[in-house]
């Protein structure tokens, strides 16, 4: 089934302008590339972080954090 045209998101004005300029000049805008070393460094720290924090917390502290998170998740839900 084809998508409805009204459900597609329009590009913002800057994106539209960049596309028009690129089409008019024939020059494609540069794509942003990430530095592979920075990506690897960030991933290495990210993989360690959660586990290291959990190991540093006592069971009581973890339980309190979990209770606060559950309360925050259910705060705006309508009560039956």
How far is residue 5's CA from residue 76's CA, in Å, rounded to a whole number? 33
What percent of the chain stands above pLDDT 90?
28
For residue 25, tell me if it sits in a domain: no
- Over the stretch 8-33, which tens digit does the pLDDT of each residue have? 677 789 988 988 988 898 887 777 78
Average pLDDT (36-53) is 86
Which pLDDT value is given to residue 68? 95
Domain count across the chain: 1
Our CA dihedral for 55, 58, 64, 67, rounded to 10 degrees, sits at 50
For residue 64, tell me if it sits in a domain: yes
What percent of the chain stands above pLDDT 70?
86
For residue 5, tell me if it sits in a domain: no
- Provide the domain limits for residue 49: 37-80
Phi, psi angle pair for 30, to nearest 5°: -70, 140
For residue 50, tell me if it sits in a domain: yes
User: Is the CB of residue 62 less than 8 Å from the CB of residue 55?
Assistant: no
For residue 63, tell me if it sits in a domain: yes
For residue 28, tell me if it sits in a domain: no
**Closest C-alpha to 11, from 22, 27, 26:** 22
- Over the stretch 70-79, which tens digit does the pLDDT of each residue have? 999 988 877 7
């Amino acid at each position: 089934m084809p998508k409805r045209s009204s459900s597609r998101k329009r590009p913002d004005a800057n994106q539209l302008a960049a596309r028009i300029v690129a089409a008019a000049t024939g020059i494609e805008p540069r794509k942003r590339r990430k530095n592979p070393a920075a990506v690897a460094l960030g991933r290495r720290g990210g993989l360690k972080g959660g586990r290291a924090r959990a190991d540093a917390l006592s069971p009581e502290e973890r339980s309190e954090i979990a209770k606060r998170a559950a309360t925050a998740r259910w705060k705006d839900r309508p009560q039956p």
